[in-house]
Amino acid sequence: MRTLGLIGGMSWVSTAEYYRMINELVAERLGGLHSARIILESVDFGEIEKLKLAGRWTDIGAHLAAAAARLESHGAEAIVLCTNTMHYVAETIEDAVSIPFIHIADTTARAITAAGSSRVGLLATAFTMESSFYRDRVASHGIEVLTPDAADRDQVSSIIYDELCHNVIRPESRTLYLEVVGRLLAEGVEGIILGCTEVELLIGPEDVTVPVFPTTLLHAQAAVDFALSDR
């Protein structure tokens, strides 16, 4: 089994989900008492968020690239960045290591294509929804990505940062998210990307009438595929 290097802490709730999912998938595939070989570097999200709010993306890239390099030096054989938003600096991280970087947008796009969808809605942090880095990467696979309007983006993002990142799950927030999904469906989307790990704690496939693409689970599956690919 190959060793996975996880860059986490953004948020710790998100990282805990990654750790759980990856280990459950390994146990499911190998049986018995098997678990994943993981090296985790967990950053202080408070420091990263301050840099993000100041627009200091070069510093964020350097910080996460250094984390990736340390993971490689300790034996990681692939890098998994446990957050959608910080994939904004994915290229900087990739340039810092010689091992594969498993990109979350690519794993999501492959699942969307496999489901036969070509027009999807995106729920994520405001930065991820409003920047082009994520949408463009998915679009490069021939998929159109729609986002909610400005008011809905603000509410979706506020719930992520003010509630879900603190492991607070509120039924009224789930209702609000589903109302946003309903408005995206009215625009003709054929699926919904849950583009933030914490969003997967609030809504899932059972809540929506079209295919749902949980990016964390898809990312974890791709990581496990890599980890077990030498077997």
Instruction: Could you list the beta-strand ranges (E) of 34-154.
Output: 38-42, 78-81, 119-123, 144-146
Residue that the structure tokens 């946003």 belong to:
180
- The single residue of 147, 196, 215, 216 carrying the catalytic annotation is 196
Query: Is the peptide bond preceding residue 11 cis, with omega within 30 degrees of 0?
Result: yes
Token pair 């710790």 is found at 12
CA distance 231 to 72: 21
Residue 52 has φ and ψ, to the nearest 5°, of: -65, -45
107 catalytic? Reply is no
**Beta carbons of 118 and 138 less than 8 angstroms apart:** no
Largest CA distance in the chain: 49
Token couple for 7: 């860059």
Residue 147 structure tokens: 């986002």
Beta carbons of 156 and 180 less than 8 angstroms apart: yes
**CB environment 143-177: b (16+ within 10 A), e (fewer):** bebbbbeeebbebbbebbeebbbeeeeeeebeebb
Catalytic residue, chosen from 83, 108, 197, 216, is: 83
The answer to whether residue 165 is catalytic is: no
Annotated catalytic residues are 83, 196
